[in-house]
Amino acid sequence: MRIRSFDYWEAPSLDDALTELEISGADAKVIAGGTDLVLNMKKKKILPRRIISLHNLKELDFVRAQNSEIHIGALSRHADIADHPLLKTHLPILCEAVGLIGSWQIRNVGTIGGNICNASPAADSIPPLMALDAQLILASKTAEKKISLDSFFTGPGETVLENGQILKEIVIELPKQRSAGCYLKLRRRKAVDVSLAGVAFQAEAESDGTRLAKVAVALGSVAPTPIRVPDAEAVLTGLPIAEAMTKISDCARIAAQTASPIDDVRASASYRRTIVDVFLQQCAQKALGALKNGGGN
């Protein structure tokens, strides 16, 4: 459990961090809360020679509404996100999911930026963010770039982040109409487990409240990266809510078929597929049921 020695530098500002990162190149790794990185260093999976710590960058620790968007700083901690009044009001699916990450101890240190950049296919924050069509602001010394979360992942643990780039902010457009969502996570016990299968479902009603304007289905732990499932979404989008509710099982079946889970010590691929179907049905029932009864956010 020895952590190989490294040079350490604490960034006083984002600008300084980006400058330093530019200079250090591939040798350097940034650290936010460290719950993933320190673990990976102890396990010898990652052996950085230099660490640039962002953990004191208060400027990246925020949740705010801006125009018709919610902006979340990359260094916001899971515990703060799970409890944030703005998010609970407008994007409760995110609170629900982030509240299931690890233990309370992990959530007090781990950051959403870290969760996203660690890019585990099992990350809990990502499926709901995908279902919310989240966008990421990537910053480097020279530029800022906005990309969709959907395009961020290239493989398990791999992202499009380039050397010199940091995830700065997550931007989510507020739903225009009433919306409702749900996140379910398959675990081996009733608390504190990695996700064996994660299902996020988010739906938004049209302005007249009768049809579904938007439907989003995102899955975690059942593919090399978290994924959206447009084919499943298409089954319900545009339908009157009551009718959509009769087609939930079709939607779920397609999602399960689209998933490409693996067999491992945690669960078999076939069980994961089965659960995707089950959970998506449950999630959709809950969300659509809420919308139908005039609920939602």
Partner 1 sequence: MSELDIVGKSYPQIDGLQKAMGKTKFVTDLILPGMLYGRTLRSPYPHAKIKNIDTSRASALAGVKAVVTYADTPGIKFGPRSEDWTIFAADKARFHGDEVAAVAAIDEDTAEEALELIEVEYEALPFVTDPLEAMQPGAPLVHDDKPLNIAAEFSVEAGDVDRAFDDSHIIYEERYYTNQVYQAYMEPMAALADVDLSGRITLWTGTQIPNMMRMTYAKALGVSPDNIRVIVPDYGGAFGAKMENNIHLVAAILAQKARTPVKLVNTRYDDFIAGNPRVPMYIDIKLGATKEGVLTAKEVKVVGSAGARLVYSMVIVATACYRVDSLYRFKHVRSKGYTVYTHTVPTACFRGFGNSQMTFVLESALDMIADQLNIDPAEIRIKNGVGPNETSIHGWKINSSGLKDCVIQATQKVDWQKKRQKKETLKGIGLACCNHVSGNRPFAREFDGGAGIVRVGRDGRVTVYHGESDMGQGQKTTFAQIAAERLGVPLQMVHVADVDTDISPFGLGSFATRGTLMGGNGVLAAAEDAFRQLAEIAAEILEARVEDIECRQGKFFVDGSPERSLPFQEVAAQATFARHGAPVVGTGFYKPPTVLPDPETKYGNISPAYPFACQVAEVEVDPNTGQVTVTNFVAAHDVGRAINPMATEGQIRGGVAQGLGWTLMEDMAYENGKIINPDFVDYIVPSALDVPDIKPILVEPVEPNGPYGAKGIGEPALNPTMAAITNAIYNATGIRVKNLPVSPEKLLSALKQKEPAD
Partner 2 sequence: MRVPINITVNGDEYHLEVKPNRVLLDVLREDLGLTGTKKGCGLGKCGACTILLDGRPVHSCLLLAAHADRREITTIEGIATEEPHPLQVAFVEKGAVQCGFCTPGMINAAKALLDNNPDPDEAEIKSAIAGNLCRCTGYNQIISAIQSCTPSKSDRRAAERGKSNE
By CB under 8 A, tell whether 39 contacts partner 2. yes
Q: How many chain residues touch partner 2 (CB under 8 A)?
A: 30
Q: Rule CB under 8 A: which residues touch partner 1?
A: 1-2, 186, 188-194, 265-268, 270-271, 274-275, 278, 282
Which one, 31 or 227, has the nearer CB to partner 2?
31
By CB under 8 A, tell whether 41 contacts partner 2. yes
What residue type is assigned to position 45 of the chain? K
Q: Which residues, other chains included, contact 158 with Cβ-Cβ below 8 Å and sequence gap of 6+?
A: 119
Q: Which does 257 bind (CB under 5 to 8 A by kind): partner 1, partner 2, none?
A: none
Which one, 102 or 296, has the nearer CB to partner 2?
102
Q: Is the dihedral of CA 287, 93, 151, 263 positive or negative?
A: negative
Q: Which does 177 bind (CB under 5 to 8 A by kind): partner 2, partner 1, none?
A: none
According to DSSP, the β-strands at 50-53 and 28-31 are parallel
Which one, 104 or 295, has the nearer CB to partner 2?
104
Give the one residue of 8, 12, 240, 270 binding partner 2; rule: CB under 8 A.
8
Which one, 69 or 263, has the nearer CB to partner 1?
263
Contact 256, 274 (CB under 8 A): yes
For the bound state, the minimum distance from the C-beta of residue 214 to partner 1, rounded and expressed in Å, comes to 26
According to DSSP, the β-strands at 197-205 and 179-186 are antiparallel
* 3-class secondary-structure state, position 2: coil
Give the one residue of 11, 31, 72, 276 binding partner 2; rule: CB under 8 A.
31
For the bound state, the minimum distance from the C-beta of residue 195 to partner 2, rounded and expressed in Å, comes to 15
Strands of 32-141 (E only): list them. 50-53, 63-66, 69-73, 135-139
- Beginning with the edge strand found earlier in the chain, give each strand of the sheet holding 212-220 in spatial order: 179-186, 197-205, 212-220, 227-228
| Angle separating helix axes 248-258 and 269-292, nearest 10 degrees | 150
Closest CA to 36 of 110, 128, 86: 110
Which one, 69 or 250, has the nearer CB to partner 1?
250
Which one, 31 or 216, has the nearer CB to partner 2?
31
Mark the segment that binds partner 2 (CB under 8 A) among 103-111, 214-222, 224-232, 277-285: 103-111
Q: Which residues of 14-53 are buried (b: 16+ CB within 10 A; e: fewer)?
A: beebbebbeebeeebbbbbbbbbbeebbeeeeeebebbbb
Give the one residue of 26, 104, 154, 176 binding partner 2; rule: CB under 8 A.
104
The residues of the shown chain that bind partner 2, judged by CB under 8 A, are: 1-8, 10, 31, 34-35, 38-39, 41-43, 51, 53, 55, 79, 102-106, 108-109, 191-192
